[in-house]
Chains A and B, each alone.
Chain A
């Protein structure tokens, strides 16, 4: 069966510090991968998605970036965090062309607080 992991679960970082959040998927190959952010009291915002290694599409311009160095690994980064980067970050996957395409499966999330 497929599983999705995110770490860390919680993170407190000072303004201006770098960020690296990691997401890995097990039990599938060549998945679509997604990063979402949910700010306090707001809906989910799609940040990045990837259909393959090295292929990243950005939905919202900002000081965040994403990379996909391996098939089932998706990384969200920032060189300098802003206060507005605080939120709940969710990674998700689905399988284009497979029976799971109708669903996106979400990870447990990382709660980031920037002080």
Chain B
């Protein structure tokens, strides 16, 4: 079972920031927070990951609370092409079955013009 809880859906206006929350209250000290997204009828795409510090790359920013029990993925200027299902996943960063990605139901983000 997924170790994360996400809202099933969110809307965002084009050009505005999209803030997608994720709860992971049972996260272990060696587990990272990963975000993937899946555009309709395509395979998932990696976005970003982090352990406890905030992270930023060309796609998004990841804000992790100090107690690591929740995080927020931020798309700073959402476009229509960002419409997708966004998955928040916690996993360890080494091999074996514990390192496998376990996908929950994610948040369906709809970016509207």
Kindly state whether residue A17 has any CB partner on chain B within 8 Å. Answer: no
- Is the contact region of chain A dominated by helix, strand, or loop, or is it mixed? strand
Given the known interface contacts A43-B104, A43-B105, A46-B100, the answer about A96 and B43 at a Cβ–Cβ threshold of 8 Å is no
Given the known interface contacts A46-B101, A46-B102, the answer about A101 and B43 at a Cβ–Cβ threshold of 8 Å is no
Q: Which residues of B contact A111 (CB under 8 A)?
A: 41
- Is the contact region of chain B dominated by helix, strand, or loop, or is it mixed? loop
Q: Which residues of A contact B (CB under 8 A)?
A: 32, 34, 36, 42-46, 49, 51, 57, 59, 88, 90, 92, 96-97, 101-109, 111
Q: Which residues of A contact B53 (CB under 8 A)?
A: none
- B95, A32: Cβ atoms closer than 8 Å: yes
| Complex Cα spacing A44 to B100, Å | 12
* Cβ of A88 to closest chain B Cβ, rounded Å: 8
B-side interface residues, number (CB < 8 Å): 21
- B95, A51: Cβ atoms closer than 8 Å: yes
Within 8 A of A (CB), among B28-68: 34, 38, 41-46, 49
* Cβ of A109 to closest chain B Cβ, rounded Å: 6
* Cβ of A75 to closest chain B Cβ, rounded Å: 18
